[in-house]
Amino acid sequence: MEDWADDSAGLVHVLRVIEVAFGTIGMTILTVVLAGALLLRRQRWAALVVVVVMSVTSVATTGLKRWLGRDRPDWQDTLDLHSNFSFPSGHASSVAAYSCLLIMLLVLFVRRANLRRLGITLVVVWWLVVCFDRMMLGRHFPTDVIGGTLLALFVFLATIAVVDPRPRSTAAKAEPLPEVFTNERRLAVILNPIKVEDVGQFRAVVSAMAKESGWSEPTWQYTTVEDPGTGMAEKAAVSGADLVIVCGGDGTVREVCAELAGTGIPVGIIPAGTGNLLARNLDIPLYIRAAIDVALNGQDRAIDLVEVGGDGIEDTHFMVMAGMGFDAAIMEGVNEEIKKKIGWIAYVVSGLRSLMFPAIKVEIQIDDQEPTTHRARTVVVGNVGFLQAGMPLLPDATIDDGILDVVIIHPRQFLSWITVASRVLRKSTIVDETLDRRTGARVRVKASAPTPRQLDGDSIGEGRELWMECVHGRLLVRVPR
């Protein structure tokens, strides 16, 4: 293999780049980045597993090298000869350990089977590339690479046998919340069945965790295309449920929450959609078991609901955001089949196609102020502030302040979107014709021509008008303590 690689100078150059990139320094940087990212997402136990596995693998590899003392192959690449010991391969052990960790995280936190399989395939290909790199440069015997991989696998399995990487219960060490009155702790679950891979397994997990937390055996209802959650929520309320858990995307959550608003029945949210914006803004974890734990054992928070109406639509509610223009065109242009396969990336594809959505003339009225006229590519009215990946579109928005936040965006040229994105990410307070912000309890947006509209990421068709009114503290939701 080393002789064959020598025949191609370009291939040898690529092999040496791989050797340097995934050497000790490169893998240390990757370990720090991965552990840091997990800590930022408050996955402390998973971060601990990453640090332990990578550290122990490194120490064990070095110890075995010195103890066994196997020399490098005589035929290794003549440039930058490696003179230290050969067995086991440090590159193979570190990359194999990191690959095991990535696969573990994919299995734990990536819900979509297609994305999970794609991720695992890419990880395995990466591991194979590094392994063949070691042999094609002649740095190691095949048994060195196999030995390094088996060592990493042993360390990984031994570590997760001792340390569980899954999130711990938010209520495991917390004092019980005081109960104002006693009840039968009746639990109702509303599930959008297409949002979970295995309905039976999901039911078993919820039932087991509910029993551990002192709740009754849950009653189950499934949403349908004809009824995305309203009827189920009404039935749960009439039956006297003390807690309603809803599992689905933002659309399902919106329907259930709108029906239960004002009833005093808390809603536990299990985010299982593509956007999950309400859950993200309430700091509800996206990992299903952790979200179930918050729903069962978290604390209640009174949040705002937004009444909304307009031409061509029945009066309804939204929880997250409403929009007219570019953002609604994105939702309208998303291919549902692609969305099922690649998740939120489908929004990126649709966004690129809709990036130069034509500017429209809009009239905006805040509360009882005089209407103002603007040119805009999109107008977004938000009850929360953050989009996917933590993008602070409305950084001052709070879900329980009784106020709606409005952003009017009008980049005049294609490259102006870069300026808009920069100002959004920096949470810039500059207000001008490109990016304008307003606040108020009541907002009316009227367009000069039929324009795409969306509520909580669901397209509601074209129209000329939307009016919105914030209803303060209307709904109880379960959030982390």
Q: Does the structure show a pLDDT above 50 at 182?
A: no
310-470 belongs to which CATH class?
mainly beta
The larger pLDDT score, comparing residue 12 to residue 284, is at 284
| CA dihedral sign of residues 437, 253, 281, 410 | negative
Encode 94-113: b = buried (16+ Cβ within 10 Å), e = exposed: bbbbbbbbbbbbbebbbbbe
For the segment 189-210, what is each residue's pLDDT rounded down to a tens digit? 999 998 888 899 999 999 999 9
CATH architecture of 187-297: 3-Layer(aba) Sandwich (3.40)
CB 478 within 8 A of CB 406: no
Burial class (CB in 10 A: 0-12, 13-18, 19+), 223: buried
Return the closest-CA partner of residue 51 out of 35, 37, 36.
35
For the segment 219-255, what is each residue's pLDDT rounded down to a tens digit? 999 999 889 889 999 999 999 899 999 998 888 898 9
Q: Does the structure show a pLDDT above 90 at 336?
A: no
DSSP string, 352-371: HHTTTPPPEEEEEEETTSPP
Query: What type of residue sits at position 405?
Result: D
What per-residue confidence (pLDDT) applies to 121? 94
For the segment 79-138, what is each residue's pLDDT rounded down to a tens digit? 666 777 889 999 999 999 999 999 999 988 887 777 888 999 999 999 999 999 888 888
Quote the CA–CA distance of 290 and 480 in Å, as a whole number. 10
* Most confidently modeled range among 115-119, 421-425, 440-444: 440-444
What per-residue confidence (pLDDT) applies to 273? 76
Domain ranges (residues) in the chain: 2-162, 187-297, 310-470
What per-residue confidence (pLDDT) applies to 274? 73
Percent of the chain whose pLDDT exceeds 70: 88
Q: Does the structure show a pLDDT above 60 at 344?
A: no
pLDDT band at 77 (very low <50, low <70, confident <90, very high): low
What per-residue confidence (pLDDT) applies to 302? 93
Q: Is this structure's pTM higher than 0.85?
A: no
Q: Does the structure show a pLDDT above 50 at 356?
A: yes
For 382, 404, 407, the CA distances from 423, given in Å and listed in that order, are 18, 20, 12
Quote the CA–CA distance of 269 and 257 in Å, as a whole number. 10
Packing angle, helices 9-21 and 113-136, rounded to 10? 110
For the segment 130-174, what is each residue's pLDDT rounded down to a tens digit? 999 888 888 888 999 999 999 999 999 999 999 989 877 665 555
In DSSP terms, which residues pair with 460 in a beta bridge?
Answer: none
